[in-house]
Structures are given as structure tokens and as C-alpha cells.
Chains A and B, each alone.
Chain A
Amino acid sequence: MGHGSTIDLSTENRTLGSLSGKLIGFGAVLAAFGLVGTLLLGMLEGAFDEAPAQSHESAASHGQSDPGTAPSAAQQQHPAAQEKHHEVIHGFVTEWSIWHPYLVSVCFFLTVTLGALFFVLTHHVTNAGWSTVVRRIAEGVSRNVVLMALILIPIVTPGPMGQLYKWFQPDPSDEIIAVKASYLDYDWFLVRLGCYFLIWTILAWGYHRSSVAQDQDGDVRRTSRMSSFSPLGVLLFALSITFAAYDLLMSLDAHWFSTIFGVYIFAGSVLSFHALLALLIVWLQANGRLTRAITDDHMQDIGKMMFAFTVFWAYIAFSQYMLLWYANIPEETIWFLRRQSTWMWGFWGWMLIIGRFFVPFLFLMSRHIKRKRLTITIGALWMLAMQWADMYYLVMPQISNGQQFPFKMVDVTIVLGMAGVYIIGLALSLRGHSLIAERDPRMPESLAFENA
């Protein structure tokens, strides 16, 4: 128990060093495992079989990770009666495609990455002192947004778009879509996505670059420049993540709308990034990096943020639910009805309520839990699993109007494979410079930080 004593960093191991090679190797193995697993299990599970024709373009446009396109009669598992049932139900229905779990996985990693960008921006806005020592890791994670753009590209090609988004080729008699046609337009959709990723890339790379440059020149004006731009950055971030949530996830059911949906995605995004940050720190310290610079007090604050955003997520999720439930307007309640009409999706919803709010709320309450590496690791892994479960809940019930529970092993293998690629991206992003913002003027304050 020191009291504000400054830590001598000269003997501290503050670079990734040989770990980056190990990380890339591990990521490559994981990515290969995910790819092979997806191909093998996908073939077993009929993931690459031709879906019942919905879009005339879907046959021609399967991406490179989609080689087994042998048409199969086995896919005709939906009786005609069910098909008819689908047409009657308000809202829309899509059939399962490999792009559904792919979208779940993309949204999972994209939200984690955006959480890192928000972390960097908001700590500049508030001129935060405690977090300076972990900010470089966040800057590194946020640069993975470029990787996420590359991973997203297959989805926004016409084939997968047709399989995921009904508005891509709407039923001409669908008046609700007709009203929204000017917004839900493929070209305009691409332009918007391009803008979001441009904003995120410029912010992530700009902040990372300026911060790393400060390691060399120690120019404090960089800090004030970054701080004075950050409010605008947060504004751009808020708008872009909101509309990205609308475009990528909410438009899966283009009849439905919820103005709080972007905030919901944001809450989960920041929450899951703090979980990843805790995991990265535990892993780095287990490998002898930053063992004294990052203390139990920093871990406790990261745990506090996880706790706070757990409550925030629950607040937003409930706000969305209660307003729709209370108003009881069919075009709004259909989204939840779809998620409550079968026991399996009902169970999934309860799992989110209990597993994403009550369990972490009680678990993360104690300071001892947040300070111990083992318990914060368990908490962080749990929160990441719940973020995936949440993304799954947003995407998958759109399949067959929620009448089937479409879990397949490829759901898991795609996440693992993408995790491998993501880890390689992290290793590339974090290597070649210090793991802490060496000459940030707030560094002494951060090193001496102590929870009262």
C-alpha cells in the first residue's frame, strides 16, 4: 500500500515484443480452425446448400468462404403450410443462410472494436487521469475497425444482402417498405456504411497515430489537440454507431423500428470492450508486460465501468421493452412477439435478462471481485459471451419468424475463426510501439492512481 508513490518504469517490460509473434501464430491457428470447422460442419449441417429461392441473385453471388454450393433437395425442410404461414404473419421472414451467423459474428467484433474507440474519445473528453496507462491498448483495439470493414465486405454484396435483408428486394405489395424505400436503398446503404467506417477509421488511426508520435516527441500540445477534437469525435461516433445499428441490425426487420436501438447497441459495445480490455491486461501481465504500471486499482476501475454499463444496458433494454409493451401497437410488438412465441427464444430472452443483468450485477458489485485477476477474468469472459448471445438474439429470430431455433455448430466456428483474424489484427496493431502512452502528461497521475 503505497501512497501516491511514482513507479519507476525503466525496468518495466512495456512492449509486446516476442508476444506479437505468438499472438499471430495463435490467431492463425484459431482462424484456420474456424475456417476448416465452418467448412466441414457447414457441409454436414447443410449450411452451404442452396436456400429455397428467394432472391434471383443469391445463386450467383456466394463469396469465397462459401465453396460447397452443391444444390441439395434436403433443404426443402419447410412444409408448404409453414411457407404460407409466413406470408400471413405481419413483418417478415427470412430463411437461414450462412450469412446470418456471419452477421452475428461481425456485429459482435464490430461492437467490441467501437467500444474501444469510444473509450479513447471519452477519456480525452473528460481529461481522465486514471485511464492513461491503459489507453494505448484501447487505441490498438480501435484500429481493428479497418479489419472489421474488410470482414464486413462479403455481407454487403448483393447475394448475402438478399438473404439477410428483406428490404433489399421487397415485395411490391409491401407498403411499409415502399414508404421507407428512399432510405432503404442499396446504393445509399453502401454510402452510409462507407461513411461510418471512414469516420471510425479516421478517428481510430488519428488518435493512435498522435498518441504514438507523442511517445517520441513528448509534445503536450498533442494532448490538448486530441482533447479539443474529442467532443466532435464523440458526436460523430454517436451518430455513426446509431445509424450503423439501424442499418446493419434493425433493418433486418424493416417494418419494425425503435429509436433507442442505437443506444442499446452502444451500451453493449462499451460494456464488451471493457471486458476485452480486462482480458488483454490479465493476459499481458501474465506474460510479464506492464506488471507494475497497471495495478489492482486500474483493474477495479475497469470492473466499475463493466458494472456501470451492465446497469446501463439493462436500463436501455428495459426502456425499449417497456415502451413497446405498454403502447401495445402490433407493428412494434411483433419484434418481441417473434422472440417470445417459442420456448427456446423465450428462454434466450430470459437468459439475457438474468445472465446479462442480474448475474453480473451481483457478481461485479464487490471490489474484491474487480481487483482479483481470476474473478475479473471470469466476469469478462462471461460478459463477452453475453454480448455474443445478445447479437444472436437480435439477428437469428428473424429466421422463419422465430418459429425455429436455428442454432448450428457453424455459429460457434465462425466466431472462433473471426476471433483468430481479430487476434492477428490486434497483434499487428499493438506491436512496434510501447503498450502505454509513454509521455502523456497525465501518465504520472495514472501511475499513482489509487481508489480511495
Chain B
Amino acid sequence: MEMNTEMLDTPAVETITAEDSVDPKPVLMLAEFETADLLLVAAAQVRDQGFRLWDCHTPYPVHGLDGAMAIRPTLLPWIVLGGGALGFCGGMLMQGWMNAVDYPFLVSGKPFWSIPASIPVGFEMTILFAAIGSFFGMLLLNGLPRLYRPHFRSDRFRRATSDRFFISIDGRDRRFDVESNARLLGELGATAVEVIEE
């Protein structure tokens, strides 16, 4: 790392302060990288430094980033499975109640509550509830919809959707420290480091 430090220009830290803030405190640090490879190396370092509340922002899915960030497996599949199971059971019980209890109606000599006849609806309900679980579970786990994040104060950050790669460190992280964090990110090859104050 020391060799690299000498070769790279450590960028100056730019501070962006919210205009309406009474007592500005740093809430976020943004570091910009030019390539996905640099981001992967930097993310692995940030991970190893023990940061918890931090994230990466890339214009496209970067293979291997999950491992470099040590992202834990998502809970979402279990929500989808639960939704599917709920839909299936709900669909079957619903038909049982409708056809056999609430309004018994004999159709071509079949049992009032017959499993084969109930399966198509049970199947569709499984799909529907699994899809609903998938969609809303994703929103819930991502904390969406959220109309505002401190990142949006940075003009530079807009390029995260086209050709730049970012690491952001939340101000609430217990290892958050403007000076040492900025130095670390600079050493890792960040082309710009910004601090957002609110």
C-alpha cells in the first residue's frame, strides 16, 4: 500500500453543507472511483477496516461486489416463500369456505371441497402472494420508498448512474471520522472525497 500512496494524489476533501442547517454535522462521506476494479479493492479494504454503515453505488451490477462488501444473504427469499405458502393455504381454505360452508353448491357430483378442483386457484394464489411478497418485501428491506438521502446534495454523485463508482460511509458509523476516513479512501484510489454536512 505504501508504494501506491506515494504514486496517487490524495484528493482534497470537499465539504458540502446544507444551507438551511443550524448546526452542521457531517452525516455522510462520499468517495468517487473511476473503475469497478478500483472500487472492488477499496470496498474490500473498507470492509476489513470494520465499517458497518456504508454502501457502494455503481451504474451497473458489479460481479464480486457482494463478496467485497461482505453483504449478508438477504431475507427476501424467506418472505417470498412465506407469501407463497400463505397464498396456497389461503386459496385452498377460501374455496373450502366458499364452496363447502358458506354456499354449498354441487357441481357435477364432485365433493363440495375437492382438492383437484381447488388446485388451479390455489396455484394462482401462490403465485400472486409470492409476487406480492417479493415486491413489497424488496421495498421494505430496502427502506423504500424514500424521497430523500444526503447523497443527493452532491452534484458529483449524479455520475453514479452513468460512469462513476462511489463508496459512501454513513456519519453514524462508529468508525466514522472525517480525517482518517478521507485519508483511507484517498489511499485506496478515490479521485474525489466529499463530506456532506447537515
Contacts and interface: CB of A to CB of B under 8 A. Distances in A.
Nearest to A362: B81
Interface in B72-126: 77, 81, 108-110, 116-117, 119-120
Interface stretch (A40-48, A124-132, A317-325): A317-325
B63 A365 contact: no
A206 interface: no
A3 B116 contact: no
A322 B63 contact: no
B40 A328 contact: no
Interface in A310-360: 318, 321-322, 325-326, 328
A319 to B, nearest CB: 9
B119 A322 contact: yes
A150 interface: no
A450 B64 CA distance: 9
Interface of A: 1-4, 318, 321-322, 325-326, 328, 365-366, 450, 452
B8 interface: no
Nearest to A318: B119
B61 A452 contact: yes
A2 B37 CA distance: 11
B38 to A, nearest CB: 13
Interface centre among A326, A328, A366 (most CB of B within 10 A): A326
Interface in B154-194: none
Given A318-B119, A321-B116, A365-B81, A3 B108 contact: no
B63 A325 contact: no
19 contacts: A2-B63, A2-B64, A3-B36, A3-B63, A318-B116, A321-B116, A322-B116, A322-B119, A325-B116, A326-B110, A326-B117, A328-B108, A328-B109, A365-B77, A365-B81, A366-B77, A450-B63, A452-B61, A452-B63
A366 B81 CA distance: 11
Question: Per DSSP, are chain A's interface residues mostly helix, strand or loop, or mixed?
Answer: loop
Interface residues of B, number: 18
Contacts of A450: 63
A452 B77 CA distance: 15
4 A-B pairs with the lowest CB-CB distances in the bound complex, closest first: A3-B63, A3-B64, A1-B67, A1-B64
B116 A326 contact: yes
Contacts of B64: 1-3
A323 to B, nearest CB: 10
B165 to A, nearest CB: 13
B63 A4 contact: yes
Contacts of A321: 116
A326 B81 CA distance: 30
Nearest to B110: A326
Contacts of B81: 365
Contacts of A366: 77
A3 B62 contact: yes
Contacts of A326: 108, 110, 116-117
A121 B77 CA distance: 32
A321 B66 CA distance: 45
Contacts of B36: 3
Contacts of A452: 61, 63
